[in-house]
Structure 1
Amino acid sequence: MTERLVWLVTGSSRGLGRAIVEGILERGDVVVATARKVAELQSLTEKYADRLLLVALDVTNPEQAQAAVGQAIKRYGRLDVLVNNAGYGLIGAFEEMSPDEFGGQMTTNFGGVVNMCRAVLPTFRSQRSGHIIQISSIGGRRGSAGLSGYAASKFAVEGLSEVLAQEIAPLGIKMTIVEPGGFRTDWAGASMSFATPMESYEPVVGAFKEWIKTYTGTEPGDPAKAAKVLFEISRMEEPPLRLPLGVFAKQFVKEGYMTSLTELDQWSSLIEATEIDGSSDESHTFLALGDKTK
């Protein structure tokens, strides 16, 4: 792999995406920065003209996804890292969300990832190298009331990525699922939408909306430090498959594991009561191996 890597970052005009672009450029790599409105990135072109390419991209459009990868290859001759960062949040109870609102979460947060992975894999496969970094969320590990659409989209990203990681590893392609906790970006600000509230859900979802308003701007996560971490894992021969970011994220994920283990033990008798008498677990060995298979 070349010493100076070529990155393609989606949703890079603001927030964490913008911090990733700036952090990678500051460390000497090349970046293809994509967004629906790339004009917000123009200020970076003067300083990094030779190492920055701006490409207008709506990740929900498969043709635009293919074209963005094509422009990156045409300009720099290769592509080394794809960062799937584009996405947004929507707060509301599931019943409060219209079909379009819920579907929009899936179309952008998950469908956009699918489109970009499809666009980049032929290049990575032919190179026998590449690294896909999915910006998921701690909401892709555990659900929270008021974020059903967001959690559904991020759980889908996690499932796709876990399977894809096993399929592409023999081709020399790496996968990392990044799961940020609270970061000081505009995720809960300009990037957040709200469903029309219903009185019945006010005690739970309404309280969460009020809390998120006070939390915005006080989050402990530093986007610039997240960019540094991404740069570091791009240089690893064996990067982590999953990487929670932040002290809260680590604890949140750990508590999820503990809850699941407790539940498994609590309901063991029912779980094991469904086996055919005299059956052997040997037939399940392949599935149990998961990504350990080569």
Structure 2
Amino acid sequence: MTQRTWFITGSSSGFGRLMVEQLLERGERVAATARKPEVLADLVDRYGDQIWTAELDVTNTSQIRQVVEDAFAALGRIDVFVNNAGYGLFGAAEELTDELIEHQLATNLVGPIQILRAAVPHLRAQGGGRIIQLSTYGGLATNAGASLYHASKWGVEGFMEANAKDLAPFGIGVTIVEPGSAATGFRVGSSRLPEPMAAYDGTPAAMSRGIQNPALPSVSDPAKVAAAIIGSADVSPAPLRLVTGSDSLRIIRDALRERLANIESQELSAAATDLAPAQAS
């Protein structure tokens, strides 16, 4: 296997940390970034120059640009970028503060956009590469009480899907990962909740208030998900989407079927707004 170099955001925990560990064990090089890179010190001690670390807050666009430049300068080539950093924000839209909204979108949507924009000139210059975007089944389906989280994930999926078309001529593949439930600490450790409003007590939106319950079951093995993400980089052409977890597959399939049925039921009414044949010509 040819040694590749990976750039991973959010490397301190969850899928990010697992991917870094598995890649290093395989002998690949990793640029591991995190808001607190000191938590990666044990890996630096063990793997030495095989891992390059940097502080990176993906809400800081100028820092993104500098870290990407520094990584290419230090490592020469980066084959795969993994946008892993992100978190969940749950609650009814009315319950959320402006600060919560802005930070959610800055982290989950604007951050990946700016990582891609910083990486693409280098990937084009080296003749190709791969961009992997961590999303969720919630990038294609919705739950009550998660409107801003879904907004961030639907937005980043649209951005990445369009870029898959824009970047294909340069040999740059794009893959969107759709994980289901997995015990990564996402729900308990990193998700955020606003102060609840009594008006939403007993409504569907209030169901999200239990998201941090550690007793909630998980379907996927996080280590297997990390391995599947890594394995997707070996597939050519790049798969546009990688679904992990039977729960994710079921939820996405049901949501798409429902959406398609709704659209197809409007075939006649949609055509009714067309220009008359004489006008169209």
Which TM-score band (shorter chain)? over 0.9
Distance (whole Å) between structure 1 residues aligned to residue 39 and residue 279 of structure 2: 60
> Secondary structure of 2:23's match?
helix
Verify: 1:170 aligned to 2:157, yes or no.
Answer: no
SS at match of 2:201: helix
Structure 1 partner of 2:269: 270
1:206 aligned residue: 206
Task: Tell me if structure 1 keeps the 8 A contact 2:79–2:129.
Answer: yes
1:17: which partner in 2?
16
User: Which stretches in structure 2 are left out of the alignment for 5+ residues?
Assistant: none
Partner of 1:288: none
- CA distance in structure 2 between the aligned counterparts of 1:243 and 1:253, rounded to whole angstroms: 12
* 1:141 corresponds to 2:155: no
Q: Which amino acid aligns with 1:61?
A: N
Q: How does 1:64-213 map to 2 (within 5 A)?
A: 64-203=63-202, 204-210=204-210, 213=213
- Tell me if structure 1 keeps the 8 A contact 2:146–2:208: no
Residues 282-293 of structure 1: matches in 2 within 5 Å?
A: none
**Over the residues paired in the alignment, what is the CA RMSD in angstroms?**
1.9
The SS at the match of 1:68 is helix
Residue 49 (structure 2) aligns with: 50
Q: CA deviation at 1:148?
A: 0.9
Whether the aligned pair in 1 keeps the contact of 2:191 and 2:212 (CA below 8 Å) is: no
Secondary structure (helix, strand or coil) at the match of 2:173 reads: strand
Displacement of 1:210: 2.3
Which one is further off, 263-272 or 101-110?
Answer: 263-272
CA distance in 1, matches of 2:133, 2:99: 24
Q: 8 Å contact 1:179–1:244 — kept in the other structure?
A: yes
- Letter of the structure 1 residue corresponding to residue 194 of structure 2: A
Which aligned segments of 4 or more residues in structure 1 are displaced greater than 3 angstroms? none
Contact 2:14 2:186 in 1 (8 A): yes
Q: Percent of pairs identical after alignment?
A: 38
Runs of at least 5 residues in structure 1 that lack an aligned partner in the other structure: 284-294
How much has 1:198 moved relative to structure 2?
1.0
Asked whether the equivalents of residues 24 and 227 of structure 1 are also in contact (C-alpha less than 8 Å), the reply is: no
- The separation in 2 between residues aligned to 1:94 and 1:64, in whole angstroms, is 30
Contact 2:82 2:133 in 1 (8 A): yes
TM-score by length of 2: 0.94
Distance in structure 1 (CA, Å) of the matches to 2:89 and 2:58: 18
Partner of 1:287: none
Q: Does the aligned pair in 1 maintain the 2:34–2:57 contact within 8 Å?
A: yes
Paired residue type of 2:82: V
Counterparts of 2:83 and 2:278 in 1: how far apart (Å)?
43
* Cα separation, 2, equivalents of 1:146 and 1:17: 26
| Alignment: residue pair count | 280
Within 2, Cα distance between the matches of 1:200 and 1:260? 29
- Give the superposition deviation at 1:141: 0.5
